[in-house]
C-alpha cells in the first residue's frame, strides 16, 4: 500500500460527481455500531436508512459520505454476510445521493469487468475500472448503479478522467439499499470479475485493509 500512497500523494483530488454536486458540503455519515442515534433504527431497512441519510443531508444541502473500515449493522438482513463468520467491516466509501445521480470516471482508465450482482444485499449493477499511473496498476469499483449503466458497456472500454461513467440505481435495483455509490480502491483484483468483496470479517481485516486502501487518499476530502 505504501507504493499506492506515494503514487497518489501528488495527485489533485479526484471528482466523482458533476457540478454543482461536488461543490456542496460533504458531511461525514456515521453508520457504525457505535452511533447511538441508530439504536432505535433498523438501518438494514432501506426506508429507515434513507430517513437517517436525509436528516444528515439537510434538504440535499449536504452529501453524506464515509464508511471506510466502519463496523456496521447494515448487513444484518442478508444471509450473504453471515454464512460462517460475520462480515460487517466496510472496505469502501459510500456517497448517499439520489437515484440517477451521474457518476464520473475519476481517473483515466478502462473497463476491467462489470456485472449485475443482483442477489439481495449485494452491489446490484457494478463496474470495475483498471487504471495505470506511472506503471502502477490498480482498480476502482463502483457499486449500486442503474441497470442502464452496464447495458452497452464492454471490457476494455476506455474512459477519460471526468467523462460520464454511470448513474446511481434505485433501491429495487441495488438490491435492498437506499440509493448510494459504493466506491472502493483495489490493488490486487485477484481472479474476481465484475465483483469484489466490499465488506470483510475481522479475521481477514489485515489483508483487505492492505489490498483496499482508503479511497480518501484519492478523494482528499
- State the fold for domain 13-210: Glucose Permease (Domain IIA) (2.70.70)
User: What mean pLDDT do residues 149-167 have?
Assistant: 98
The CA distance from 187 to 208, in Å, is 10
Find, among 22, 32, 81, the residue nearest to 204 by Cα. 81
Strand duo 102-104 + 199-200: pairing: unpaired
Tell whether the model's pLDDT for residue 82 goes beyond 70: no
Phi and psi at residue 199, to the nearest 5°: -145, 140
The CA distance from 78 to 176, in Å, is 9
Tell whether the model's pLDDT for residue 219 goes beyond 90: yes
**Digit-coded pLDDT (tens) for 166-211:** 999 999 998 889 999 999 999 999 999 999 999 999 999 999 999 9
**Digit-coded pLDDT (tens) for 85-96:** 788 899 999 999
Considering the entire predicted model, what is its pTM?
0.94
The CA distance from 29 to 65, in Å, is 5
187 and 212 Cβ atoms separated by less than 8 Å = yes
Phi and psi at residue 49, to the nearest 5°: -65, -45
Tell whether the model's pLDDT for residue 12 goes beyond 90: yes
pLDDT band at 45 (very low <50, low <70, confident <90, very high): confident
pLDDT score for 75: 61
111 and 91 Cβ atoms separated by less than 8 Å = no
The CA distance from 203 to 171, in Å, is 30
Amino acid at each position: 500500500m505504501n507504493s499506492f500512497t506515494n503514487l497518489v500523494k501528488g495527485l489533485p483530488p479526484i471528482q466523482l460527481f458533476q457540478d454543482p454536486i461536488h461543490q456542496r458540503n460533504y458531511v461525514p455519515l456515521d453508520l457504525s455500531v457505535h452511533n447511538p442515534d441508530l439504536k432505535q433504527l433498523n438501518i438494514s431497512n432501506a426506508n429507515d436508512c434513507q430517513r437517517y441519510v436525509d436528516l444528515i443531508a439537510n434538504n440535499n444541502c449536504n452529501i453524506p459520505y464515509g464508511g471506510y473500515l466502519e463496523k456496521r449493522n447494515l448487513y444484518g438482513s442478508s444471509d450473504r454476510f453471515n454464512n460462517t463468520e460475520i462480515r460487517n467491516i466496510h472496505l469502501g466509501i459510500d456517497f448517499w445521493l439520489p437515484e440517477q445521480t451521474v457518476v464520473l470516471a475519476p481517473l483515466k482508465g478502462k473497463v476491467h469487468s462489470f456485472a449485475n450482482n443482483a442477489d439481495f444485499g449485494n452491489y446490484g449493477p457494478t463496474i470495475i475500472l483498471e487504471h495505470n499511473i506511472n506503471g502502477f496498476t490498480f482498480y476502482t469499483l463502483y457499486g449500486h448503479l442503474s441497470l442502464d449503466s452496464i447495458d452497452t458497456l464492454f471490457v476494455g472500454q476506455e474512459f477519460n478522467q471526468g467523462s460520464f461513467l454511470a448513474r446511481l440505481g434505485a433501491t429495487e435495483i441495488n438490491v435492498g439499499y437506499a440509493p448510494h455509490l459504493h466506491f472502493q480502491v483495489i490493488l490486487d483484483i485477484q481472479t474476481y470479475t465484475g465483483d469484489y468483496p466490499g465488506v470483510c470479517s475481522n479475521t481477514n481485516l489485515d489483508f483487505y485493509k492492505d489490498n483496499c486502501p482508503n479511497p480518501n487518499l484519492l478523494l482528499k476530502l
